[in-house]
């Protein structure tokens, strides 16, 4: 395979990467880190975005400017209204109904022509060398072929979950299963793994999505490689197995969050925090090292009001200090009422509630944090691993149940809160999945002095050290992110 791109930069061959993230926080954030890393390694980057998403990225854009990194933002008009979405609905977290997911995906695919036109214009000035795009942007495969450059797929899963997803989707394993509780054993998986249909990635397929899923799978097969935000030493056997099954190179380039070296850039990650960062740090400084549990369920998980109340009561009963990020606000007035009706007052000496967007990485890195209750989105999981904190796992949907298995059964750095069922994205009508007693027990155990908790903490620290080694100069991920590594794989 030959390249159209590649020009001379500081005397060494440099490349121009075009990054096309899915417009969802959990997909965009790691790609902003990827852009930063590629640019720090000497490449030029075009980062494709849309107006609403660009305004959310204001902190990142300012950092890039200040650091003089060669990242250009390509802002394309997002055709929301043209595809039946409300004006400005440019991110998955703004899609209010599950039924509109398909419209959103179609609007994304309509970015193909404008992006192609932009890249053609750029060809004289700075020819693109490689596209790295989210797996959901299957239509970028066409662009790469037209330009004669490779396309690498980024899915945002770890190796363990990527392998399960690949085996399931490329063998249509869920197709004839009608019962959500039917148990499936994953064939060809390096270790024994069974789970119910509902807990498998890909089971969240809204009607009409079939064609798009087929395209995604077809384009993944045609793609020139996979990029994952993990590191070789964390899950060697699963990454190697994924490479064998997918029959293509898998570049482990993570943990990409480690590109942040100070609390300012950590705080600017994703959206603008909905509280004062300095106040948050001051509060954390006032707490004993390792004493606070951080509770956050990412950007998409819709925890029901009843469940939020139950969770809060469990945190209160545990008597441990906590920071709890809730996406309540006007969406869930009954939760706001309950918080105001005594709860906040009762926990005011040891509990901080953040409504909206939290500077998660900045918080996790603080020495006061001793545990992380997470929904097991992969970004949150790898951030927890890098911060060296043990976790309480509370998956909601998608591949989160697989990440739970990796953390609890393979790495042994966390314990399950005991979620029995799936909380589907967009569904706010479900019953309580986890009782206050279960929350209390999990928090009490994880944050306590017992032998089991000590072992979890020790192992968590061990993986944090490994993560740093993989990321730092001459580490496995560091070497993978170099243009030479990518170029030579195709020569």
Chain contacts with ligand UDP (rule: CB under 6 A): 25-26, 29, 269-270, 296, 298-301, 325, 357-358, 360-361, 377-380, 383
Compare residues 3 and 322 and give the one whose CB is closer to ligand UDP.
322
Compare residues 6 and 377 and give the one whose CB is closer to ligand UDP.
377
CA-based end-to-end distance of the chain: 6
Shortest distance, CB of residue 375 to ligand UDP, whole angstroms?
A: 6
Q: Rounded distance, CA 89 to CA 67, Å?
A: 31
Shortest distance, CB of residue 227 to ligand UDP, whole angstroms?
A: 15
Compare residues 24 and 149 and give the one whose CB is closer to ligand UDP.
24
Shortest distance, CB of residue 370 to ligand UDP, whole angstroms?
A: 18
Shortest distance, CB of residue 129 to ligand UDP, whole angstroms?
A: 27
Compare residues 238 and 378 and give the one whose CB is closer to ligand UDP.
378
Compare residues 78 and 378 and give the one whose CB is closer to ligand UDP.
378
Compare residues 254 and 321 and give the one whose CB is closer to ligand UDP.
254
Strands 391-393 and 369-374: parallel
CA angle, corner 290, sides to 30 and 307, nearest 5?
A: 65
Shortest distance, CB of residue 361 to ligand UDP, whole angstroms?
A: 6
Shortest distance, CB of residue 32 to ligand UDP, whole angstroms?
A: 10
Shortest distance, CB of residue 371 to ligand UDP, whole angstroms?
A: 16
Q: Report the residue number whose CB is nearest to ligand UDP.
A: 26
Compare residues 83 and 394 and give the one whose CB is closer to ligand UDP.
394
Shortest distance, CB of residue 27 to ligand UDP, whole angstroms?
A: 7
Compare residues 338 and 365 and give the one whose CB is closer to ligand UDP.
365
Compare residues 260 and 457 and give the one whose CB is closer to ligand UDP.
260
Shortest distance, CB of residue 358 to ligand UDP, whole angstroms?
A: 4
Compare residues 23 and 119 and give the one whose CB is closer to ligand UDP.
23
Shortest distance, CB of residue 394 to ligand UDP, whole angstroms?
A: 12
Give the 3-state secondary structure of the chain: CCCCCCEEECCEEECEEEEECCCCHHHHHHHHHHHHHHHHCCCEEEEEECHHHHHHCHHHHHHHHHHCCCEEEEECCCCCHHHCCCCCCCCHHHCCCHHHHHHHHHHHHCCHHHHHHHHHHHCCCCCCCEEEEECCCCCHHHHHHHHCCCEEEECCCCHHHHHHHHHHHHCCCCCCCCCCCCEEECCCCCCCCEEEHHHCCCCCCCCCCHHHHHHHHHHHHHCCEEEECCCHHHCHHHHHHHHHHHCCCEEECCCHHHHCCCHHHHHCCCCCCCCCHHHHHHHHHCCCCCCEEEEECCCCCCCCHHHHHHHHHHHHHHCCCEEEEECCHHHCHHHHHHHHHHHHHHCCCCEEEEECCCCHHHHHCCCCEEEEEECCCHHHHHHHHHHCCCEEECCCCCCHHHHHHHHHHHHCCEEECCCCCCCCCCCCCCCCCCCHHHHHHHHHHHCCCCHHHHHHHHHHHHHHHHHHHHHCCCCHHHHHCCHHHHHHHHC
Cβ atoms of residues 111 and 119 within 8 Å: no
Shortest distance, CB of residue 296 to ligand UDP, whole angstroms?
A: 6
Compare residues 196 and 360 and give the one whose CB is closer to ligand UDP.
360
């Amino acid at each position: 395979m030959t390249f159209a791109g590649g020009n001379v930069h500081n005397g060494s061959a440099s490349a121009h990467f075009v990054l096309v993230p899915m417009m969802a926080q959990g997909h965009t954030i790691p790609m902003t880190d990827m852009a930063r890393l590629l640019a720090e390694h000497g490449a030029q980057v075009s980062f494709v975005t849309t107006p609403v998403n660009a305004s959310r990225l204001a902190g990142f854009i300012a950092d890039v400017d200040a650091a003089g990194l060669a990242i250009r933002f390509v802002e394309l008009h997002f055709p929301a209204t043209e595809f039946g979405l409300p004006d400005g609905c440019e991110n998955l977290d703004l899609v209010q109904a599950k039924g509109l997911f398909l419209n959103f995906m179609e609007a994304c695919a309509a970015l193909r022509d404008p992006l192609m036109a932009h890249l053609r214009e750029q060809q004289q000035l700075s020819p693109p060398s490689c596209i790295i795009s989210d797996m959901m942007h299957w239509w970028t495969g066409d662009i790469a072929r037209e330009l004669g450059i490779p396309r690498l797929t980024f899915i945002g899963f770890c190796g363990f979950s990527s392998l399960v997803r690949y085996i399931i989707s490329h063998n249509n394993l869920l197709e004839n299963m009608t019962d959500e509780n039917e148990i499936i054993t994953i064939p060809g998986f390096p270790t024994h793994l069974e789970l119910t249909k509902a807990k498998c990635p890909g089971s969240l397929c809204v009607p009409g999505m079939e064609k798009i899923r087929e395209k995604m799978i077809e384009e993944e097969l045609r793609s020139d490689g996979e990029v994952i935000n993990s590191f070789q030493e964390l899950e060697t056997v699963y990454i190697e197995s994924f490479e064998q099954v997918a029959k293509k190179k898998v570049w482990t380039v993570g943990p990409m969050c480690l590109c942040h070296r100070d609390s300012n850039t950590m705080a600017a990650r994703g959206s603008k925090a909905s509280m004062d960062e300095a106040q948050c740090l001051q509060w954390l400084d006032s707490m004993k090292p390792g004493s606070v549990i951080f509770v956050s369920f990412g950007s998409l998980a819709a925890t029901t009001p009843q469940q939020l109340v139950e969770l809060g009561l469990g945190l209160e009963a545990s008597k441990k200090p906590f920071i709890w990020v809730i996406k309540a606000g006007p969406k869930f007035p009954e939760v706001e009422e309950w918080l105001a009706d005594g709860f906040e007052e009762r926990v005011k000496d040891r509990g901080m509630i953040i409504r909206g967007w939290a500077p998660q990485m900045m918080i996790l890195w603080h020495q006061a944090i001793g545990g992380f209750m997470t929904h097991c989105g992969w970004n949150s999981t790898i951030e927890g691993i890098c911060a060296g904190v043990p976790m309480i796992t509370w998956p909601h949907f998608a591949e989160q149940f697989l990440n739970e298995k990796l953390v609890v059964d393979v790495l042994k750095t966390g314990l399950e809160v005991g979620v029995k069922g799936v909380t589907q994205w967009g569904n706010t009508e479900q019953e309580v999945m986890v009782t206050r007693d279960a929350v209390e027990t999990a928090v009490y155990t994880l944050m306590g002095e017992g032998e089991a908790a000590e072992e979890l903490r020790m192992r968590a620290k061990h993986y944090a050290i490994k993560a740093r080694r993989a990321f730092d100069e001459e580490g496995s991920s560091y070497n993978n992110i170099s243009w030479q590594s990518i170029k030579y794989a195709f020569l």
